[in-house]
Amino acid sequence: MTNVPPTAESAILAGAEPRTNTRKVFIKTYGCQMNVYDSERMGDALTGDGYQAVDTVEAADLILINTCHIREKAAEKVYSQLGRLAKLKKQRNAEGGDLMVAVAGCVAQAEGQEIIRRAPVVDVVIGPQTYHRLPQALAKARQGERVVETDFPAEDKFDGLPNTSARAIRARGVAAFLTVQEGCDKFCTFCVVPYTRGAEVSRPVDRIVQEAQRLVDAGVREITLLGQNVNAWHGKGADGREWGLGELVRRLAEIDGLVRIRYTTSHPRDMDDSLIAAHRDLPELMPYLHLPVQSGSDAILKAMNRRHTADEYVRLVERIRAARPDIALSGDFIVGFPGETDADFENTMDLIREVNYAAAFSFKYSIRPGTPGAGMEDQVAEAVKTERLARLQALLSEQTRAFGRQCMGKTVDLLLEKPGRNTHQIVGRSPWLQPVIVDAKAGKIGDIVSVRITETDSSSLFAERVEC
Ligand code: SAH
Ligand code: SF4
Ligand code: F3S
């Protein structure tokens, strides 16, 4: 006997949900904000291809995993998840279903064919530059082919993807991501990104402005411009001159209704005068900057190929703070890079004390195959990395808490973003990216309201509306 799907009627009789013809996709995203944005855009392409998004694997006909390769743990997560999905697929197939599994993102790019070999459950492997080919790849997979798409094509993937509908934009909320730049030419010796995302490419000004306008027309009030190296963005401006990110931000700030602009992630080497001046001049550009330094030791910075010294970084921070005194800084740190001595590590601690961060992300160095760091001698013992990371995180957490305490009693503008956990509350964001909880009567989602910070616990701030 062959398995045939039940008709809607027999499914209802059997007490099950009627299955419609619409295919359903579950998307799971790992990694950075650029993956979040890419998942949204792949979601748009799949909607155009007749799919509907669902939020459980059980309800899905297609499971799309958008992966991250930045550290070993991140990459290994993918294989353990694929192991679990293999069981689900077997069960589905036994019931006559045809569950498909696709792997996108940086693991897809880095491992390609190897994923198909290690994980027979996978039907499609698709790298970050070929997402516009996803519907065709799935169509081939439905014919029984196992597809691997990991080219770096000349065409712009975003041009090949459908525009996000106003409905989808509204569903995603009042704060949106917009990728303006992709890839990286910096080749820090620890990092996989230049290999998984390819060379630096900037999207053209007109495409970015059109996309920002569409977002704002659908109700978005805050846009975060994204790039692996966002401040390396450059392009031909409306005035015929070559623009950098500072000029782009100025242009976007002219869009009526766009009240907040942010950008991430920046490299210290690409923080030019025009971008610093934009922080000085534009109230729309939020006073928060993620500016990773990785280490405070010149020897380690050199070995990492960061191409600046610790002192140059500190001087840069001074210039940025002179332009925008209330700016909050966040950073990324790696401990235990090959050759890092106790003295090198202490230099990092000193730099952290000198800069004083509002937020930070810190990691033990993770060997990434194919990067120069992997072949370096003097790899640091795991126990040393653990001890250094704990000390570094204790210092950074204290700085973050102090930053929160310093906000007590202050009056700040909040962009109200989403309902709180409890129906009487609404959550907004301060200019410094802090989630702040206020009474739901303070305003509606999308409003900017003036509030006074009244209370703080370990993760959130609480505030009350101030009439102005
Ligand atoms: N483009 C950004 C960073 C992208 S990756 C920049 O230049 O700063 C995000 C962070 O992951 C990095 O800043 C770094 O701190 C961390 N990271 C990257 N590779 C790593 C590795 N091999 N081991 C540990 N952390 C790593
Ligand atoms: Fe990776 Fe360095 Fe490029 Fe950042 S600048 S993405 S850390 S290679
Ligand atoms: Fe990860 Fe790729 Fe982003 S490796 S951090 S998903 S660019």
Confidence band (pLDDT; 50, 70, 90) for 8?
Answer: very low
Residue listed under structure tokens 């990434």? 368
| Residues making up the binding site for [4Fe-4S] cluster | 32, 68, 106, 184, 188, 191
Residue 93 has a pLDDT of 86
Determine what percent of the chain is predicted with pLDDT higher than 70. Answer: 95
337 C-beta closer than 6 A to ligand 1: no
C-alpha 462 chain-centroid distance: 26
Lowest mean pLDDT among 1-5, 138-142, 150-154: 1-5
Residue 244 has a pLDDT of 98
Phi and psi (nearest 5°) for 53? -80, 140
pTM: predicted TM-score of the whole model, two decimal places = 0.93
CA of 455 to the centre of ligand 3 (A): 35
Please work out, in degrees rounded to the nearest 5, the angle formed at the alpha carbon of residue 181 by the alpha carbons of 176 and 185: 145
265 C-beta closer than 6 A to ligand 1: yes
CA of 115 to the centre of ligand 2 (A): 24
The span from the CA of 4 to the CA of 419, in Å, is: 43
CATH numbers and ranges of domains, the chain:
3-149 (3.40.50.12160), 178-286 (3.30.750.210), 287-406 (3.30.750.200), 411-465 (2.40.50.140)
Confidence band (pLDDT; 50, 70, 90) for 13?
Answer: very low
Phi and psi (nearest 5°) for 251? -65, -45
pLDDT tens, residue by residue, 389-446: 999 999 999 999 999 889 999 999 999 999 998 889 999 999 999 999 999 999 999 9
Lowest mean pLDDT among 332-341, 443-452, 457-466: 457-466
Residue 468 has a pLDDT of 57
The span from the CA of 290 to the CA of 359, in Å, is: 9
Confidence band (pLDDT; 50, 70, 90) for 157?
Answer: confident
Confidence band (pLDDT; 50, 70, 90) for 155?
Answer: confident
Residue nearest to atom 13 of ligand 1 (CA): 332
Confidence band (pLDDT; 50, 70, 90) for 21?
Answer: low
68 C-beta closer than 6 A to ligand 3: yes
Residue nearest to atom 1 of ligand 3 (CA): 68
User: Which tops the pLDDT comparison, 415 or 156?
Assistant: 415
Beta pairing partners, 261: 223, 285
68 C-beta closer than 6 A to ligand 1: no
CA of 70 to the centre of ligand 3 (A): 6
Residue nearest to atom 7 of ligand 3 (CA): 193
